[in-house]
């Protein structure tokens, strides 16, 4: 593994690629996802872009550029459809096939390229042998969020969306496609139930909502999806790709609900909403890619990753959210930006992004300054009394001083802890500042692998850009 540190979010602070589907092609990891904008007012406003990294250096991501534009779909010349979450599979011919659904049409579109990073060209719509598009045949349910897996000359296409109260949507579907990657070979069958049809299935409380994805590990198929709880990625396993899936548990929650190792299991540690992602084996380790919400809305999401641990029976231990991707602790020296906080909360416990169009002004949010080109710094805005930003983990050795960078109309102090409910190790004084300002104090951090929590105590609203461990 390289000396580059892995941080979350793993892409630059100004990039917003949620719904991540990671794949190793050759010696590189490629991530495909939808494309949000900072300050966006709906999901997936951008064209598809691709980022890649060496498989042995997950801290060194390269921008591969825009790989497919939304005006390339013949149905979308008026640009009214946004490019929702995609997936990619390698066909029997060795080419790369990009599957997606437009936001205003329940049909699966496909683009193709000779290279994993594109550019991709429109190829066609998934259809039955008679030419009827999947999703438009009588009795079909609308298609949504395609996930794909190709084995030999068969491609398994998983789709679906199921909300509360909608009895017209039964669950996640699997459709088998022929070797042309377009023609339906086996009609859709249901592999995981929606909330209206889950009684007695074992999926109760974690029913399929959206974001189907599929991976194979050993002889087990892992069906990964976003549950009706929104914030969690769950999984079910089977030895067959089209049936027999049994619910197994949660892979990750984007507010750490379900984690009881350092807090009560039901306590949320971040403002969350929907989730979408998948897992991939990179080198000798497996990782889960997921996303978090920023800027106090549902619509500016950033990709994160965590290392996974499996039990001997193939089940997954729920991963914690971290600032380091669970790859290895961050160095306990040097400067770190505040936007890599994996925890953000106040004394008022809230699970979901508290918004009515915009973030409730009682709560902090990760946001960014806008500079030319849109590449401004990321920071935490609106830290009021009790607002806490948590960072996990650091390998601390001989840390004796901490400097913090802040600005805003605020007076008080920033308390430092190594646990969200622990005793303060010390504090840094806070005063009014019109521009970013560094303030330093003597605070000794115990040696070892530590979390760091920064809590504002005082008046006003503080902007928090980062800190330096000395």
Active site residues: 19, 210
> Could you tell me the CA-to-CA distances from 428 to 339, 401, 411 in Å, in that order?
19, 10, 11
Residues facing residue 464 across a β-bridge: 380, 406
**Alpha-carbon gap, residue 179 to 158, rounded angstroms:** 16
**Alpha-carbon gap, residue 242 to 287, rounded angstroms:** 24
**Alpha-carbon gap, residue 120 to 113, rounded angstroms:** 5
**Alpha-carbon gap, residue 94 to 25, rounded angstroms:** 11
Nearest to 51 by CA among 11, 101, 105, 85: 11
Q: What angle do CA 243, 246, 249 make, to 5 degrees?
A: 140
Write down the residue that tokens 């409730």 correspond to. Answer: 360
Q: Is the peptide bond before 411 cis (omega within 30 degrees of 0)?
A: no
Tell me if 52 sits within 8 A of 31, measured CB to CB: yes
Tell me if 279 sits within 8 A of 286, measured CB to CB: yes
SS3 call for 340: helix
Q: What angle do CA 379, 373, 101 make, to 5 degrees?
A: 85
Nearest to 278 by CA among 194, 201, 216, 190: 216
SS3 call for 13: coil
Please give the helix or strand (H or E) that residue 50 lies within, else none: strand 48-54
**Alpha-carbon gap, residue 240 to 280, rounded angstroms:** 19
**Alpha-carbon gap, residue 102 to 70, rounded angstroms:** 9
Query: Around Cβ 140, how many Cβ atoms within 10 Å?
Result: 18
Order the strands of the 154-159 sheet from edge to edge.
147-151, 154-159, 171-177, 184-193
């Amino acid at each position: 593994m390289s000396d580059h540190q892995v941080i979350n979010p793993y892409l630059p602070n100004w990039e917003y690629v949620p719904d991540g589907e990671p794949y190793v092609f050759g010696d590189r990891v490629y991530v495909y996802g939808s494309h949000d904008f900072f300050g966006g007012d709906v999901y997936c406003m951008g064209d598809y872009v691709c980022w890649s990294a060496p498989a042995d250096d997950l801290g060194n991501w390269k921008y591969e550029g825009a790989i497919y534009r939304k005006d390339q779909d013949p149905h979308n010349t008026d640009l009214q459809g946004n490019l929702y979450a995609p997936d990619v599979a390698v066909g029997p011919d060795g080419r790369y096939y990009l599957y997606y659904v437009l936001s205003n049409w329940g049909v699966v579109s496909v683009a193709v390229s000779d290279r994993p990073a594109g550019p991709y060209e429109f190829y066609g719509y998934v259809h039955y042998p008679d030419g009827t598009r999947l999703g438009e045949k009588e009795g079909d349910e609308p298609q949504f969020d395609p996930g794909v897996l190709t084995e030999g000359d068969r491609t398994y296409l998983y789709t679906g969306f199921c909300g509360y109260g909608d009895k017209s949507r039964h669950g996640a579907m699997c459709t088998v496609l022929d070797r042309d990657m377009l023609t339906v070979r086996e009609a859709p069958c249901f592999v995981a139930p929606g909330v209206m049809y889950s009684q007695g299935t074992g999926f109760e409380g974690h029913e399929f909502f959206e974001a189907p994805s599929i991976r194979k590990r050993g002889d087990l198929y892992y069906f990964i999806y976003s549950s009706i709880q929104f914030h969690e990625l769950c999984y079910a396993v089977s030895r067959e790709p089209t049936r027999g899936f049994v619910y197994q548990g949660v892979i990750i929650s984007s507010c750490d609900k379900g984690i009881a190792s350092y807090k009560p299991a039901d306590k949320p540690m971040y403002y969350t909403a929907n989730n979408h992602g998948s897992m991939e084996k990179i080198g000798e380790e497996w990782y889960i890619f997921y996303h978090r919400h920023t800027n106090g809305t549902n619509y500016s999401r950033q990709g994160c990753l965590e290392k996974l641990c499996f039990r001997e029976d193939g089940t997954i231990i729920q991963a914690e959210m971290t600032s380091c991707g669970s790859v290895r602790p961050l160095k306990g020296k040097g400067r770190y930006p505040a936007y890599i906080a994996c925890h953000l909360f106040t004394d008022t416990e809230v699970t979901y992004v508290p918004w009515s169009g915009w973030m409730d002004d009682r709560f902090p949010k990760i946001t960014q300054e806008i500079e030319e080109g849109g590449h401004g710094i990321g920071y935490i805005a609106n830290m009021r009394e009790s607002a806490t930003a948590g960072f996990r983990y650091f390998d601390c050795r001989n840390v004796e001083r901490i400097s913090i960078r802040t600005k805003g109309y605020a007076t008080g102090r920033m308390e430092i802890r190594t646990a969200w409910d622990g005793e303060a190790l010390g504090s840094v004084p806070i005063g009014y500042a019109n521009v970013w300002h560094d303030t330093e104090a003597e605070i000794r951090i115990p040696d070892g692998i530590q979390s760091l929590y920064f809590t504002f105590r005082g008046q006003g609203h503080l902007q928090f850009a980062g800190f330096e461990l000395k």
